[in-house]
A and B are shown apart, each in its own frame.
Chain A
Amino acid sequence: MKKIQILGTGCSKCNQLGANARQAAEIAGIEYEIEKVTDIVEISKMGVISTPALVIDGNIVSTGKLLKPEKIKAFLV
């Protein structure tokens, strides 16, 4: 099961990234869980300095970018 985390303080980009990630996971047909991390301390602890950020199974996959579902799907499979 893939653990997908969306790091962001809550602006529209973060929400959109979450939606795109969900869509990507659905298309990929994998088992997943999505978590939104909005706590600043948590985000900093993960070493992220530009949001929104996408973390999959503990690996920072992208920071500061709003990825399209196709691009996210590539990271999931």
Chain B
Amino acid sequence: MFSIFTKLADFCVYYVFGLEQGTQLASSLHFFIEDVTKIYALLIVMIYSIGWLRASLDVERVREYLIGKPRIWGYLAGSAFGAITPFCSCSSIPLFLGFTQARIPLGITMAFLITSPIINEVAIVLLGSLLGIKFMLLYIGFGLLAGILGGMILDLLKAECYLTPLVQKVREAGVDGVSQDARVSLSVRDRHIFAKGELGSIFIRVWKWVLLGVGLGAVLHGYVPETYIVEHLGRGQWWSVPGAVLLGIPLYSNASGIIPVAESLLGKGLPVGTTLAFMLSTVAASFPEFMLLKQVMKPRLLLYFFLILVSMFTLIGWIMNMMNF
């Protein structure tokens, strides 16, 4: 199915540019052209299709559903909804406050917020097509697990005690009786408009990351010798996993940027566990997000959150390396 992109890259690199097969430049350029075109094509199809399916799902409905649910189920549902609900991370704080006001346990809210950036249609598409179904399923599984466990642990640590005064202030302010329009069911045309809108906004946000990520991946692919990575990091040295995680957390990247890089790294012999740990930690958290969370979490809680993420992703990396996938 994807051979058309290989052929396109072949055509451009060997015919149009006339480069020699096997050189580093040819190798890099081929990787770049093939991956960029393939990713763009897939993104367009998948964002639209998933947008279509998701048009009627929104966070208000999720909140209604989660109210009063027993904890264990709440973590699972919170995480699962985080994976599938269209959600802009700039909305993180309003959502956090809204869920908290509805007396939804903090851990469940965090399960949603942890999984949300990890699992999205962009990530799924790219993983499945570039790294294979197995890797994609692993990523999804661990993304959900990170949300569930993260939420659970935060509740066990009584995270609710470490929220900022702002949260209490919002709780006390309550909600004015602002009326909300009755929810109407969506027609085919409505769905199309939503899906098209999603395609536009997501693609605009993401196309540069793809170029950056594939560019980086292409450089790695063509210019970094396989032996280097295999020698220094290839045996899943224990410190390489937490190292990858600590590198990944402050980095900000969309899934679309990091996956082509991961593809290159894997191809050069970086172990599956290390790669997975790096990917998860890059997309799950970032400086901007921690800045947002600072408004509702006291420093101590932010630290707990950071440590929980680092531990979970490191463990995932170690386990996967040990299991020799």
The answer to whether A13 touches B88, judged by C-beta atoms less than 8 angstroms apart, is yes
Categorize the interface residue count of chain A.
20 to 34
With the chains together, A50 CA to B116 CA distance in Å? 14
Contact with A along B78-93 (1 / 0, CB 8 A): 0000000011101101
Which of B59, B88, B97 has the most C-beta atoms of chain A within 10 angstroms of its own C-beta?
A: B88
A44: chain B residues within 8 A (beta carbon): 94, 97-98, 101, 170, 173, 175
Which residue from B86, B91, B169 sits with its C-beta under 8 Å from A49?
B91
Contacts of A51 on B, CB cut-off 8 Å? 88, 90-91, 94
Contacts of A9 in B (CB 8 A): 90, 93-94
A41 to B95, CA, bound (A): 12
Determine if B58 is an interface residue (Cβ-Cβ < 8 Å). Answer: yes
- B-facing residues in A20-72 (Cβ within 8 Å): 40-41, 43-51, 55, 58-61, 63-66, 68, 71
Pick out which of these stretches binds chain A: B37-45, B134-142, B151-159, B177-185: B177-185
Please tell me if the beta carbons of A45 and B181 are within 8 angstroms of each other in the complex. Answer: no
Which one, A14, A46, A49, A65, contacts B176 given CB within 8 A? A46
Which residues on the A side are within 8 Å of B197 (C-beta)?
65-66, 68
Q: Is the CB of A47 within 8 A of B93?
A: no
Judge whether A41 and B169 touch: CB under 8 Å. yes
- Of B101, B175, B178, the contact of A58 (CB 8 Å cutoff): B178
CB-CB under 8 A for A50 and B60, given A13-B88, A44-B173: yes
Minimum CB–CB distance from B294 to chain A (whole Å) comes to: 12
Least CB separation from B205: chain A residue: A12
Provide the bound-state CA to CA distance between A48 and B103, in Å: 15
Instruction: Contacts A49-B63, A65-B197 given; indicate if A43 touches B169 (C-beta within 8 A).
Output: no
Say yes or no: is B129 at the interface (Cβ < 8 Å to chain A): no
* CB–CB A13/B181 < 8 A: no
Pick from B94, B101, B179, B193: contact of A50, CB under 8 Å: B94
Q: Are A40 and B94 closer than 8 Å at their CB atoms? A: yes
Q: State the majority secondary structure of interface residues on B.
A: helix
Number of A-B pairs whose CB atoms are under 8 Å? 92
Interface size on B, residues (CB 8 A): 32
B179 touching A49, Cβ below 8 Å = no
Chain A residues whose CB sits within 8 angstroms of the CB of B180 once the complex forms? 47, 59-60
Residues of A contacting B324 in the complex (Cβ-Cβ under 8 angstroms): none
Using Cβ atoms and an 8 Å threshold, which residues of chain B touch A43? 94
Contact B175 A49 (CB under 8 A): no
A77 within 8 A of B: no
The answer to whether B201 touches A40 (Cβ under 8 A) is no
Interface 1/0s, chain B 166-202, versus A by CB < 8 A?
A: 1001100111101111000000000001100100010
* 0 or 1 for each of B271-292: is its CB under 8 Å from A? (1 = yes): 0000000000000000000000
A11-B90, A47-B176, A50-B58 are known contacts. Are A59 and B181 too (CB-CB below 8 A)? Answer: yes
* Closest CB in chain B relative to A55 CB, distance in Å: 7
B95 is contacted by which of A50, A55, A58, A65 (Cβ under 8 Å)?
A50
Q: Return the chain B residue nearest A75 by Cβ.
A: B181
Known contacts A47-B180, A50-B95; is-contact A66 B175 (Cβ 8 Å): no
A18: Cβ under 8 A from any B Cβ: no
Give the docked Cα–Cα distance between A11 and B88 (Å).
10
* Minimum distance in angstroms from A5 CB to a CB of chain B: 10
CB-CB nearest in chain B for A71: B193
Binding site for B on A (CB under 8 A): 8-11, 13-14, 40-41, 43-51, 55, 58-61, 63-66, 68, 71
B-side interface residues toward A, CB under 8 Å? 58-60, 63, 86-88, 90-91, 93-95, 97-99, 101, 166, 169-170, 173-176, 178-181, 193-194, 197, 201, 295
